[in-house]
Amino acid sequence: MAESNAAIQSAAIIGAGTMGRGIAYLFAQKGIRTVLYNRNGNTLNQAREYIAQDLNKKVEQGKIALQDKGAVLANLVFTSVFETIADSDLVIETIAEQEQTKLEVLAAIAAAVKPDTLIATNTSSLSLNKLATAVTHSERFIGLHFFNPAPLMKLIEIIPAYFTARATTERCRQLVAALGKRDVVCQATPGFIVNRMARPYYLEGFRLLEEHVARAPQIDRALKAGGHFRMGPLELTDFIGQDINYQVSRQIWQDMQYDPRYTPGHLQRSLVDAGLLGKKNGRSYFAAEENALPVTAATDADVETLRVYGEHPFFTLLQQRAALQWPRLRVEQRPALPGLGPAVQINEAFTVSVTDGRTASQLAELTAADAFVVDVALNYADTAYLVAAHNRHASAANKALFLRLLHTAIPQVEFIKDSPALIVARVLSSLINESVIMVESGVCSREDINVAAVAGVNYADGIFGLLDSLGEKNVRTTLSNLAQLLHAARYAPHYTLLHAAQPALTTTP
């Protein structure tokens, strides 16, 4: 294939389902002449009607002029005649995630188009190198992974296969820029960047539910409040479709040689089997769940002394808010206790710690007193909801006083099961560890991970921004305790996270 950096002037999209019609619509809006092919005429008509209705809505809302609608429609050809794709500069297949069918369609595309036509797949989880075997002149084959809805989502993943020419990758990067999107380039590995990087978010959400750590609304609300996620993992899987989310998890698990980090949950499998797929079919396992009423502290007791061991942003905030509630509060600042770390002792009766992966019962044994652990939050000052746990035999009086103290800073606090790393710390640490593993194994760069997190899955912060916020030492400690208490292989911190804990090597002359 002759190398060319010419702009893409015409494109063909194979498959008029949700992704195919979205990509075709995006291309037409950007002035690219686009053929949308589908063998099923009904699906094609639905795609045509969807695009026309959306354009009408934009005209009615004053977002576009009537002539703009005409220009977009003029760029689109809806067809069930496969040969119509022949003169396209780029062809993208967007059919269902079935390997053999994709291989057959890609071979047919390669036979129908010009030798220098770029051929792309929108697969989200299948092997690019296997799919490339169906394409003659495989240097022109590449993965272009769009996200739904394609016209709105800001990210497109570019995945070269082994034989993809550098010029092919560069033309695709120029195309992404012309579409007004951001790109990340990654190796042809399972899940690419976004689906693999985000996998712990979904998997840990279901594991927390399966372990009866908390109810679904608590898990979702904790991660939105403390982790700044727009949607919790369980409501998000309902939005995506439980079948689709589970299929991607299972595909990555298989492709990663059944590594326990990627093992999908049995609960999600049972939801798929039962047809509880979420928004797509209006049947949700979580729909009947209701938010719990706020827990109030039924006590008139006051916090008289606050002994602060070490430093932590939450304890600084708690100290400030408690002083407003109890003007005569006596505060003592002391160094962190060996083995305990930063903590607050209340009235010399119980301690409060931010989770480092250990349970409240473990800390109670260490201090020989009642112990409470609270979850991590990226910004406690603006956190409206926080989960906490206490040791098994904590007194009712201490639990009530703990809640009264916490409510000076956090509007709603709920007790959940006393479990390692609670919710937010467990999920964030798992996300960070997976991203570190991906970067260190050469899948992509740190910058690609951060771009994918923000532009691909709408996380408020890049993953390595989360690492900076939480601190490498805290993440390492949390993961190490999760590995010890729950699953050694699943939560073991990548060795690069252990560097700060190792003494410097010295040599003698």
For residue range 286-334, what is the model confidence (pLDDT) as tens digits?
865 555 555 556 677 899 999 999 999 999 999 999 999 999 999 999 9
What's residue 460's pLDDT? Answer: 87
CB 101, CB 131: distance < 8 Å: no
What's residue 305's pLDDT? Answer: 94
Cβ neighbours of residue 70 under 8 Å, at least 6 residues apart?
Answer: none
What's residue 297's pLDDT? Answer: 60
Mean pLDDT (the chain) is 93
Residue 4 pLDDT greater than 80, yes or no: no
Q: Token match 């009537």: residue?
A: 66
What's residue 498's pLDDT? Answer: 83
What's residue 5's pLDDT? Answer: 56
Residue 193, SS3? coil
What's residue 6's pLDDT? Answer: 73
Q: Is the pTM of this model over 0.75?
A: yes
Residue 509 pLDDT greater than 50, yes or no: no
Dump pLDDT digits (tens) for 224-254.
Answer: 999 999 999 999 999 999 999 999 999 999 9
What's residue 503's pLDDT? Answer: 39
Residue 30 pLDDT greater than 80, yes or no: yes
Residue 101, SS3? helix
Dump pLDDT digits (tens) for 336-347.
Answer: 988 999 999 999
State the Cα angle at 297 between 295 and 302, rounded to 5°. Answer: 155
* Beta bridge pairs of residue 13: 36, 92
Rounded to whole angstroms, how far apart are CA atoms 459 and 446? 15
What's residue 381's pLDDT? Answer: 95
Query: Which residues carry out catalysis?
Result: 124, 145, 157, 195
CB 294, CB 412: distance < 8 Å: yes
Rounded to whole angstroms, how far apart are CA atoms 460 and 453? 8
Dump pLDDT digits (tens) for 261-290.
Answer: 999 999 999 999 999 999 989 999 986 555
Rounded to whole angstroms, how far apart are CA atoms 300 and 404? 9
User: Residue 27 — φ and ψ, nearest 5°?
Assistant: -60, -45
Structure tokens belonging to residue 435: 């991203």
* Beta bridge pairs of residue 119: 91, 141
Structure tokens belonging to residue 100: 């053999």
User: Residue 245 — φ and ψ, nearest 5°?
Assistant: -65, -40
Dump pLDDT digits (tens) for 355-391.
Answer: 999 999 999 999 999 999 999 999 999 999 999 999 9
The number of residues making up the chain comes to 509
What's residue 507's pLDDT? Answer: 35
What's residue 502's pLDDT? Answer: 43
- Give the confidence band of 2 by pLDDT, cuts at 50, 70, 90: very low
Worst-scoring range by mean pLDDT, 54-63, 176-185, 499-508?
499-508
Rounded to whole angstroms, how far apart are CA atoms 31 and 12? 13
* Beta bridge pairs of residue 155: 182
Residue 504 pLDDT greater than 50, yes or no: no
Q: What is the DSSP letter of 105?
A: H
Helix axes 472-485, 463-470, angle to 10 degrees: 90
Residue 390, SS3? strand
Rounded to whole angstroms, how far apart are CA atoms 426 and 231? 17
